[in-house]
Chains A and B, each alone.
Chain A
Amino acid sequence: MSGHASTYEPTSRWGKWWDERLPIARMMHGSFVEFPTPRNLNYLWTFGGILMFCLVAQIVTGIVLAMHYQPSDVQAFNSIEHIRRDVNYGWMLRSMHAVGASMFFIAVFIHIFRGLYYGSYKAPREVLWILGVTILLVMMATAFLGYTLPWGQMSFWGVTVITNLFSALDTIYAGLGTGIVEWLWGGYAVSGVTLNRFFSLHYLLPFVLTGIVILHVWALHVAGQNNPTGLDLKEASESVPMHPYATSKDLVGLFAFLVVFGWFVFFLPDYLGHADNYIEANPLVTPPHIVPEWYFLPFYAILRAFTGSFLGIPLGSYAKLLGVLAMFGSILILAFAPWLDSSRVRSTKYRPLYRWFFWLFVFTCLALGYLGSKPAEGVYTTWAQIFTVLYFAHFLIVMPVVGLLETPNKLPRSISEAVLGEGGSASFAGATAAPEKR
Chain B
Amino acid sequence: MTTHVEDENRRDFLVVAGNAFAAVGAASLIWPFVQQMNPDASAKALASVEVDLSPVKEGQAITAMWRGKPLFIRNRTKAEIEQAEKVQPDELPDPTARNGGISGDVPAIDSNRVKKGHENWLVLVGICTHLGCIPKGQAMNDARGDFGGWFCPCHGSHYDTSGRVRKGPAPRNLDVPPYAFISDNKIKIG
Contact = CB atoms under 8 A, between A and B. Distances in A.
Interface of A: 157, 160-165, 167-168, 170-171, 182-189, 191, 193, 197, 283-290, 304, 306-308, 316-321, 323, 375-377
Residues of A contacting B: mostly: helix
Interface in B23-64: 34, 37-40, 43, 63
B115 interface: no
Which of B34, B70, B131 has the most C-beta atoms of chain A within 10 angstroms of its own C-beta?
A: B131
Contacts of B93: 308, 316-317
Residues of B contacting A: mostly: loop
Given A161-B154, A188-B39, A304-B155, A284 B171 contact: no
Contact of A306 (B70, B167, B169): B169
Given A189-B67, A283-B68, A197 B37 contact: yes
B153 A286 contact: yes
A188 B133 contact: no
A188 to B, nearest CB: 4
A283 B67 CA distance: 12
Interface residues of B, number: 33
Interface string B53-88: 000000000010101111000000000000000000
B171 A320 contact: yes
Contacts of B172: 317
Nearest to A282: B134
Contacts of B178: none
B100 interface: no
A323 B157 CA distance: 15
Contact of A187 (B43, B168, B170): B43
Contact of A188 (B43, B130, B155, B171): B43
Nearest to A184: B37
Contacts of B171: 168, 170-171, 317-321
A376 B155 contact: yes
Nearest to A160: B132
Nearest to B130: A320
B37 A375 contact: no
A289 B39 contact: no
Which of A162, A286, A304 has the most C-beta atoms of chain B within 10 angstroms of its own C-beta?
A: A286
A308 B39 contact: no
B33 to A, nearest CB: 12
A145 to B, nearest CB: 14
B43 A307 contact: no
Nearest to A197: B37
Contact of B39 (A170, A186, A284, A320): A186
Contacts of B130: 164, 320
B132 A188 contact: no
Interface string B91-129: 001100000000000000000000000000000000100
Interface string B141-175: 00000000000111110000000000111111000
A320 B134 CA distance: 17
A320 B70 CA distance: 22
Given A188-B39, A197-B37, A317-B94, A284 B156 contact: no
14 contacts: A157-B133, A161-B132, A162-B131, A164-B132, A185-B39, A186-B38, A186-B43, A188-B69, A189-B69, A286-B152, A290-B153, A304-B155, A308-B168, A316-B93
6 smallest CB-CB distances across A and B, nearest first, come from A189-B68, A164-B132, A188-B67, A164-B131, A161-B131, A286-B134
A375 B168 CA distance: 13
Contacts of A164: 130-132
Contacts of B65: 284
Given A188-B43, A290-B154, 9 more contacts: A161-B131, A163-B132, A170-B171, A186-B38, A286-B134, A304-B169, A307-B169, A317-B171, A377-B156
A197 B38 CA distance: 12
Given A317-B172, A320-B171, A284 B131 contact: no
Which of B43, B127, B135 has the most C-beta atoms of chain A within 10 angstroms of its own C-beta?
A: B43
A1 B170 CA distance: 53
Nearest to B135: A286
B25 to A, nearest CB: 24
Contact of B168 (A163, A184, A307, A321): A307
Nearest to A381: B156
A283 B43 contact: no
B82 to A, nearest CB: 26
B153 A289 contact: yes
Contacts of B37: 183-184, 186, 197
A337 B137 CA distance: 46
B63 A284 contact: yes
A375 B153 CA distance: 8
A306 B169 CA distance: 7
Contacts of A284: 63, 65, 70, 134
A171 B39 CA distance: 23
Contacts of A197: 37
Contacts of A183: 34, 37-38
A376 B153 CA distance: 9
A318 B172 CA distance: 10
A120 B154 CA distance: 38
B26 to A, nearest CB: 22
Nearest to A291: B154
